[in-house]
Structure 1
Amino acid sequence: MAKSQKICFVIMGFGKKTDHSTGKTLDLDKTYKNIIQPAVESAGYQCIRADEIQDAGLIDKSMYALLMQAELVVADISTFNPNAIYELGVRHAVKPYSTIVIKEEEGKIPFDLDHTRIFHYKHLGEDIGADESQRCQKELEEKIKIVTNSPLVDSPLYDFIKDINPPELPAAEYKKIIGDLAEKETHIFAIVEKAKDHMLEDEFVEAAKLWRKAAEMVPSEDYFLQQLALSIYKSKEPSEDTALTDALRVIEKLAPDGDSNDPETLGLTGAIYKRMWLSNSDIECLKRAIKYYEKGFQIRKDFYTGENYALCLDMMSKVEEDGNEKTYYLIAAKKARQQIIETLAYVKDAVDDGKCNIEFKWAFATLSNCYYGLGEVENGKKFEKLFLSLVEAKWEEATFQESKKKVIELTRS
């Protein structure tokens, strides 16, 4: 299942800047490319720097929108770039938490920030050493995950002055700003946001056009091709069979001859073949769906591919004529569901602790269908309710209900 990425907005200077307190010149682009961007993306965020959205007349609007809306902000205050300091102040004023301040280890810290916890790194000036880059990537990624999983107030304003509410950016205004940027057709971030917006509205033909544009702009980004394939087969245009064939051509660019170790790519390929099987009853399509889902499940115990692997095994058991093979498929499906439930024990523990996080949305859907498949109806209903409470788009609920119906049909007959 394709996952929508959270946004990290990066505040910092660009290019080579001099720290006047030390006289040292730093190439801040090296900091971004060697430390910040890889750490942020490894932690699961889409990393956006101001120069990636810069456009006359729009930079101020988009900057303020991102400072308010981004789930995470990383602010590099090295060299005390005035724009970066100002933007950090805005972020602290509008968001109580999820802001990480980083700085090159030398040089003074402004008085107003000397009480703030700051992540330090060592810059050589023209570049950053490989060992230092690796250390910082790992430690910054860990810090991001801590901030993500247990957000604490890190804004001095909200720390010192209690019981004040942060301002809210109306969703319609944010969409309008992003739409304005997407109209320029030059900003990858805005194009991606617009594509996601179309998907939330079940407008898959429009979404596919934007994902295609994003993939053409950044051919090395697998995520864009994955989303393009998903949008194409969801569109069912000009017909469902044609859409599935077109989607398969796209995803095969990432997995020629099935050679991929990415669970997302394997899961999407399996989904396309599964839908082909449901459309044309070609047993070879079902066998290929099982192959791709099984591989995705084995590589990283990915629960989405595992759930669909079990479902396809149930389907195979219904068409298999050999009694022993039929029994094998049924047992394998049961074991896969039990293994998924064990793998998602941390999600169940979080629910027991009263947590219902949006990050668990598809895990809830998977747990529900696994329990239904094992005949544990009450647990199935419990996690179905949790999933439905977090649904953001019509297609998400439709996909779940389709899987639920098929699971119950196959495991109760």
Structure 2
Amino acid sequence: MGFGIKTDYINGRKLDLNKSYRLLIKPVVESKGIECVRADEITHSGSIDVQMYQELLQADLVIADLSTLNANALYELGIRHALRPFTTIVISENKLVYPFDLNHVVIHSYQHLGDAIDYEEVERFRAALGNVIQTVLDKTEADSPVYTYLHALIPPQLQKQIERAVTESVKTEPAPEIGKALSLIIQEAEDAIETKEFAKAKNLFQTAALLSTSNSGQKDTYLTHRLAFTTYKAAQPDLVTSLYESLALLKSIHLDTSNDPETVSSAAAVEKKLYECGEGESHLEESILYYQRSYYLLNNRYNGINLAMTLVYHATSNLAISDQDRIADLIFAQRTWKRVLYLCDRDWKLIQEKEKNDQALINDGTKDGQELQEYYSSQKYWILVNRAESYFGLGDFASYRKHVEESKNIPFHPWQLESFTEQIGKLEAELKKVGHLLEPKWIAPS
């Protein structure tokens, strides 16, 4: 399976595959007395491919999660089906559009909500997967389509030949030094982000990206996103230089043609910061284009609120050559804020429903319950301040103040308040320049 946050390019949804693994797969496998290992948990310092082939050959059980149609997972599933006739289970989240050639493979589905997985779904799928594992371990029927349709294959002979080849391959590999599993490096990097040690996080993500790069040079998009983020946050040797370095990283994963909303919105944020740093209006134009692409792909609050901000920037820049241009920008920004308000209402209802369903886990005192509570609090905080910012842009200052006060009752990190306050300050400064063009006029609150 993939790891980290991955995008399903068919529908633009982002899925946290680490949660799928940690909540749905690993605990079920371990409850059966089986050691559970994902590729990024293997300790290595040489080629990961040799170890991956060994695991696919020798593992007593393989589970392939095809969510987001991860190309590596599909390829590895094909290898497993070729090597072993038995004990392979295929799963995916339930909105996956299956490729035609997988129609004859049994795929066990689960419901993934994007950022989270409903606790009731966790319990349901854990029970279902546990039953499937037990059934697969007990039966002797082939679950590999290769051995189902090619009856003449003799797995023991084929297995011995491949095992000898793999053994010889290992002998030619230089003796690896004791290293860290990729998953541990990534976790250390994420922990460093939490403590604002961005330079440390950047170095760790650089190591992780190097380890995960395939022999063909293909980069992992999730790690590139995180490396780009920590690069400009580290601001070394200075902010502008780090922003250009971050942009180059995003361009290395085909930014111009990518349908990955995370890649595009990350580039939009970097271009926006470059414009704010005085690097030229071409960066503002690029930022608007990237935010538009990701906003229309995902129909979400984050890209909507930032698209509206860049449109106000456009109205006050030299790119708007007449009052008609400026009014057009402001009207478009107002429409976007109104849409964000609708999205806030939609998301608030979803969060409340999910939080209600997950109360049992939240209240059980476990680390998972604590993380889930923090997640819901963070989502509620962003919804409230997104509402506040939208009302501020629309000139409804009573509603703006109301939602700001409500946000203070939600647990939040200081950086969240800092980010919101900074954005409101920039928005007010720009609207003071052009707010008089609107009808009714936008007049800054006293």
TM-score class normalised by the smaller sequence: 0.5 to 0.7
- Is the contact between residue 337 and residue 370 of structure 1 (CA under 8 Å) also seen in structure 2? yes
**1:278 to 1:229, Cα distance in 2 relative to 1, 3 A:** same
Q: Match of 1:44?
A: 16
CA distance in 2, matches of 1:124, 1:140: 28
Q: 1:300 aligns with which of 292, 298, 306?
A: 298
Structure with higher Rg: it is 2
2:86 corresponds to 1:125:
yes
Once the two structures are superposed, residues 193-223 of structure 1 have per-residue CA deviations (whole angstroms, 9 ceiling, x without a partner) of: 2111211222111111111111112234211
CA distance in 2, matches of 1:390, 1:284: 38
**1:300 to 1:125, Cα distance in 2 relative to 1, 3 A:** same
CA distance in 2, matches of 1:309, 1:223: 23
1:238-317 aligned within 5 A: 238-256=237-255, 258-317=256-315
**1:311 to 1:200, Cα distance in 2 relative to 1, 3 A:** same
CA distance in 1, matches of 2:294, 2:273: 17
CA distance in 2, matches of 1:362, 1:134: 40
CA distance in 2, matches of 1:390, 1:233: 27
Post-superposition offset of 1:327: 0.8
1:57-206 aligned within 5 A: 74-76=26-28, 81-83=32-34, 125=86, 127=88, 130-131=102-103, 135-136=107-108, 138-139=109-110, 141=112, 147-148=118-119, 185-206=179-200
Letter in 2 for 1:195: A
2:390 corresponds to 1:396:
no
Letter in 2 for 1:247: S
CA distance in 2, matches of 1:224, 1:305: 21
**1:142 to 1:339, Cα distance in 2 relative to 1, 3 A:** closer
Q: Name the SS for the 1:46 alignment partner.
A: helix
2:316 corresponds to 1:334:
no
Q: 2:397 aligns with which of 367, 373, 377?
A: 377
CA distance in 2, matches of 1:292, 1:143: 22
Q: Match of 1:346?
A: 346
Q: 1:212 aligns with which of 206, 211, 217?
A: 206
CA distance in 1, matches of 2:85, 2:207: 38
CA distance in 1, matches of 2:105, 2:429: 53
**1:234 to 1:378, Cα distance in 2 relative to 1, 3 A:** farther
Q: Name the SS for the 1:344 alignment partner.
A: helix
- Is the contact between residue 28 and residue 126 of structure 2 (CA under 8 Å) also seen in structure 1? no
CA distance in 1, matches of 2:115, 2:268: 32
CA distance in 2, matches of 1:202, 1:148: 31
Aligned-pair identity (%)? 18
Normalized against structure 1, the TM-score is what?
Answer: 0.59
Deviates more, 1:206-215 or 1:147-156: 147-156
Letter in 2 for 1:371: Y
**Structure 1: segments with no counterpart, 5+ residues:** 7-40, 50-69, 86-102, 105-122, 157-183
Letter in 2 for 1:205: A
Deviates more, 1:347-356 or 1:403-412: 347-356
Alignment length (residue pairs): 290
Post-superposition offset of 1:400: 2.2
Post-superposition offset of 1:152: 7.6
**1:47 to 1:230, Cα distance in 2 relative to 1, 3 A:** same
**1:46 to 1:145, Cα distance in 2 relative to 1, 3 A:** closer
Normalized against structure 2, the TM-score is what?
Answer: 0.55
